[in-house]
């Protein structure tokens, strides 16, 4: 049985993730400063999960965490706080400012170092950043800087500690206690937030939980130092039109994957006849340099997705990239995002995975199945594969 240490487990995304991990047969070490909520979560989960009460802004409490823990296969740095007190940056209270940075930016680096004797070789370390780390959100103190720092720090730590596999997840707006508090404080208008999200709805905690459980598993092995934005497409949308609220509720997250392939594929596929409709395109892979944008448009046209479902494209990643290649590659990524913004109101998703020439496609299948499937219904407009 694999063991996953999860911080901020007692509420919102953390609580949903603990449930998802337990459902997948993993033992959790549940860490939070809220002892009561932690205990009631552990009672509800049953089983062999461990709990640790700790304030992660305190380096001494982080250092004490390793004591008595079993070997850890994954660490999910999820605990985080926002600032809903409203003063502008230059009016911030220094103690609150420091506390936020300690939790959101420093704790995710202190934890793996404190747990280094417990983390197995190849352990997966997943940091929960935010869309706020990709674009500045004003009047929330150090929140955006802390999350931008966490994204960069994750990539730098991936280079520094190759024995561990790092990824960083950026959720968009998710219906949790944190977001409920912002709405209640008048700091977030849900209708205005939704108008900027191509999929036209806030995310559900379980959608982030599914992504975290996937990243914490061996199945995500092809992702290294990658950033996954699970945000309904909000981080790739730069237009000014308002999106309508989504007319389609998400399908059950355990809906089986009904996957069809556009183009050549000679591996096993394991697909259901009925379920969440998904297409995997392998045709762009064979397109020559200079013709890839045309090939993507052709694949999108052929997919003809007119309702909830997904198109996932495999894109070629040339090992020796010329300057023309660099331009075409970035244009291809942005084309995927543009299509996602156009398709969002239909709940039709499009994402891509870059693969080097001659890659064993079967090895990418677990990732492709996740991206294409019902568990990733809030994921759109993304091209995976580190830039
Ligand atoms: P939440 O407020 O519902 O849960 C946070 C958990 O962290 C709570 O159980 C809390 O007790 C714990 N915690 C807070 N301070 C702590 C400390 N000093 N030491 C130990 N535990 C502490 O938050 P939510 O919404 O579940 O967020 C989880 C993560 O996702 C955070 O890192 C947040 O920044 C990030 N996120 C959330 C988004 C959302 O829309 N809810 C959007 C983007 C990112």
Q: What is the pLDDT of residues 56-105, one digit of tens each?
A: 999 999 999 999 999 999 999 999 999 877 789 999 999 999 999 999 99
Q: What is the pLDDT of residues 110-144, one digit of tens each?
A: 999 999 999 999 999 999 999 999 999 999 999 99
Q: What is the pLDDT of residues 311-342, one digit of tens each?
A: 999 999 988 788 889 999 999 999 999 999 99
How many angstroms separate the alpha carbon of residue 301 from the centre of ligand 1? Answer: 40
What are the φ and ψ backbone dihedral angles of 92, each rounded to 5 degrees? -70, 145
How many angstroms separate the alpha carbon of residue 338 from the centre of ligand 1? Answer: 31
Answer whether residue 365 shows pLDDT above 80.
yes
- pLDDT computed for residue 95 by the predictor: 94
Q: What is the pLDDT of residues 240-283, one digit of tens each?
A: 999 999 998 999 999 999 999 999 998 788 899 999 999 999 99
Its CATH architecture, for the domain 3-230, is 3-Layer(aba) Sandwich (3.40)
| Residue numbers annotated as active site | 143
Least confident of 65-69, 134-138, 161-165, 176-180: 176-180
How many angstroms separate the alpha carbon of residue 78 from the centre of ligand 1? Answer: 6
Query: 32 pLDDT band (50/70/90 cuts)?
Result: very high
Residue nearest to atom 21 of ligand 1 (CA): 32
Residue nearest to atom 4 of ligand 1 (CA): 11
- pLDDT computed for residue 182 by the predictor: 83
Structure tokens at 68: 């008595």
What's the CA gap between 328 and 384, in Å, rounded? 16
% pLDDT > 70, the chain: 99
All CATH 3.40.50.720 domain ranges of the chain, comma separated, are 3-230, 257-384
- pLDDT computed for residue 386 by the predictor: 57
Q: ∠96-102-106 over CA atoms, to 5°?
A: 160
Per-residue pLDDT averaged across 216-231, rounded?
96
Whether the CB-CB separation of 379 and 284 falls below 8 Å is answered with no
- pLDDT computed for residue 268 by the predictor: 81
Whether the CB-CB separation of 382 and 351 falls below 8 Å is answered with yes
- CATH top-level class of 257-384: alpha beta
pTM for the complete prediction? 0.97
Q: Which residue bears the tokens 């280079």?
A: 159
Residues at CB less than 6 angstroms from ligand 1:
8, 10-14, 32-34, 54-57, 78-81, 103, 128, 130, 171, 173-174, 176-179
Answer whether residue 309 shows pLDDT above 80.
yes
Give every strand in the sheet of 309-316, ordered side by side.
Answer: 257-262, 276-281, 309-316, 348-355, 383-384
Q: What is the pLDDT of residues 289-304, one digit of tens each?
A: 999 999 999 999 999 9
Of 81, 105, 181, 205, the one to substitute when testing ligand 1's pocket (max ligand atoms within 8 A of C-beta) is 81
How many angstroms separate the alpha carbon of residue 14 from the centre of ligand 1? Answer: 7
Per-residue pLDDT averaged across 45-49, rounded?
93
């Amino acid at each position: 049985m694999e063991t996953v240490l999860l911080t901020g487990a007692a509420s919102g995304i953390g609580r949903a993730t603990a449930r998802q991990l337990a459902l997948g047969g993993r033992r959790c070490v549940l860490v939070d400063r809220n002892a009561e909520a932690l205990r009631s979560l552990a009672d509800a989960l049953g089983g062999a999960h461990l709990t640790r009460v700790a304030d992660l802004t305190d380096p001494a409490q982080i250092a004490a965490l390793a004591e008595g823990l079993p070997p850890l296969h994954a660490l999910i740095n999820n605990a985080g706080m926002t600032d809903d007190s409203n003063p502008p940056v230059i009016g911030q209270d220094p103690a609150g400012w420091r506390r936020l940075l300690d939790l959101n930016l420093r704790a995710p680096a202190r934890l793996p170092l404190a747990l280094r004797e417990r983390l197995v070789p190849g352990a997966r370390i997943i940091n929960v950043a935010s869309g706020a780390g990709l674009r500045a959100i004003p009047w929330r103190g150090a929140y955006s800087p802390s999350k931008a720092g966490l994204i960069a720090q994750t990539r730098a730590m991936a280079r520094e500690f190759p024995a561990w596999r790092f990824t960083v997840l950026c959720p968009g707006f998710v219906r949790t206690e944190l977001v409920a508090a912002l709405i209640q404080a008048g700091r977030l208008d849900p209708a205005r937030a939704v108008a900027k999200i191509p999929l036209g709805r806030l995310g559900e905690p379980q959608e982030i939980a599914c992504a975290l459980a996937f990243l914490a598993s061996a199945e995500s092995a092809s992702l290294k130092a990658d950033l996954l934005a699970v945000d309904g497409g909000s981080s790739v949308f730069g237009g000014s039109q308002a999106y309508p609220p989504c007319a389609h509720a998400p399908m059950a997250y355990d809906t089986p994957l009904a996957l069809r392939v556009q183009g050549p594929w000679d591996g096993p596929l394991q697909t259901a006849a009925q379920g969440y409709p998904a297409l995997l395109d392998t045709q762009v892979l064979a397109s020559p340099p200079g013709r890839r944008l045309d090939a993507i448009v052709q694949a999108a046209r052929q997919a003809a997705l007119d309702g909830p479902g997904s198109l996932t494209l495999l894109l070629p990643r040339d090992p020796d990239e010329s300057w023309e290649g660099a331009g075409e590659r970035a244009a291809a990524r942005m084309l995927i995002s543009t299509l996602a913004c156009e398709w969002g109101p239909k709940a039709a998703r499009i994402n891509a995975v870059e693969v080097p020439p001659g890659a064993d496609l079967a090895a990418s299948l677990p990732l492709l199945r996740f991206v294409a499937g019902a568990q990733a219904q809030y994921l759109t407009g993304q091209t995976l594969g580190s830039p």
